[in-house]
Amino acid sequence: MSEASAPHAVDRRDLTAAQRNAVAELLRVSPVADELGRRFARAGHELHLVGGSVRDALLGRLGEDLDFCTDAHPDQTLQIIKGWAEAVWETGREFGTIGAQHGGLRLEITTFRAESYDQVSRNPVVVYGTNLTEDLKRRDFTINAMAVSLPDHRFTDPHGGLDDLAAKVIRTPASPQESFRDDPLRMLRAARFAAQLRFTVHPDVRAAMTAMAADLDRITAERIRDEFTKLLCGADPITGLRLLVDTGLAERFLPELTGLKLEIDEHAQHKDVYEHTLTVVSNAVGFEEEGCDFILRMAALMHDVGKPATKSVGSDGRVSFHHHEVVGARLTKARMKALRYPKDVTGKVTALVALHLRFYGYGRGEWTDSAVRRYVTDAGDLLPRLHKLTRSDCTTRNRRKAAQLAADYDALEERIALIAAEEDLARVRPDLDGNAIMELLGVPPGPVVGRAWKYLKDLRLERGPLDRDAAEAELLRWARDEGIVD
């Protein structure tokens, strides 16, 4: 970065050691970025590395995706990169964005913008801006409102983003009220960045989030879903989740989370279900082996949402939440459907919520081998996540009880391994297939075959593998009881 004479430019001599390291990050991509900058300059246009790319470079974590802004309009950008870009995509063209790939980097080049909401519609109205200063002012947060001009590497920071980055604070370039009126999703993005970067939201921003939470209703479910997913997958999701609840944002799209604050956990009188849930999410993060497991985190977040609707107080004053896992699974499915999550993701999260209590009672010695088989079969490919969720759900401060629960689950996993060594638990099937059933019973394809298949599978889960003669004898006995054969 070279010294610049423009107002608000930051002299390289003022950079901290960490920020000087960011220069190296930028130089790593500069062969591509500078070459692109020269192409725009020759065409009479500006080009600036901007937003998250500059922020991440300053944090020493610049990736392979680079964001640029320019005074060139999309058609002009396409002409400038024609023959240079290895691939081009125009999916963001209506928002002024052209995507390109070159030298192993993914580039997004966006025309200066001055977009805003009309405060009625649920999508931004895109209006092209005319200069960098205007473009930076309309960005969400000061840490995303810095730019590096190309190819001369002039650094521009009109809103003190560098200071806020050093202070680890999230602040808006314009007033928070103006910023959130333009795009209410920025309130959710503030919580997301707090979770991702472990930053603190400025008190003025937090106050505006609280006062304007209802404005989030103007945003489409898909945009909310995407921001929330990033928040939950952040390095510190608990901070983000607390912000959502404390500011009232959660009430707008995830009211089940806020509702948990009202319920007391019968297993841990020292904390309410809300605090217990946040602890379970934190525990689940600790069980991840590689990157964010959204399905596990979401299941941890939603596992007790059925408690408010199932709360009852016994004559002895004890609180219980019978069948809250069933109610919770139903609520989880409905909420994720409303947020437009894919069916397969929703199905997996819902199944984990429904199964999360199944383990309790194992320590009393009541589980037969058939119960273990059903546990594994019902979990299917979710079994590794179910192991983690169940262990995460142990938040008691009673060390003896916590140690006993951990030992019980260790024993269950060992028992699963022993049975699996003898049987393929992941692929439990009846001992007779459909063709054998039809041949033995003398029936055509149809409902009878399905019922017989289910009976044999249940028998397989109950008693383990049967040899051919035993399986046929059991099938014939069932068929006679059902009146299918004489």
Which domain, by its residues, includes 474? 429-481
- Return the pLDDT at 22: 60
- Return the pLDDT at 364: 63
Tell me how far apart the alpha carbons of residues 173 and 185 are, in angstroms, rounded to a whole number.
Answer: 16
Give strand pairing partners of 170: 201
- Return the pLDDT at 403: 84
Domain count, the chain: 3
- Return the pLDDT at 479: 86
Q: Which two tokens stand for residue 223?
A: 């945009």
Is 250 inside a domain boundary? no
Same domain, 355 and 463: no
- Return the pLDDT at 127: 80
- Return the pLDDT at 123: 57
Same domain, 404 and 452: no
Residue 267: phi and psi, rounded to 5, are -85, -20
Same domain, 439 and 390: no
DSSP, res 116: B
Q: What is the CATH number of the domain that holds 18?
A: 3.30.460.10
pTM over 0.85: no
The residue with tokens 């949402």 is 305
In three-state secondary structure terms, 170 is strand
Same domain, 307 and 413: yes
Residue 166, sorted as left (phi over 0), alpha (psi -120 to 50) or beta, turns out to be alpha
Q: Which residues of the chain have pLDDT under 70?
A: 1-28, 115-125, 262-271, 317, 361-366, 421-429, 431
Is 87 inside a domain boundary? yes
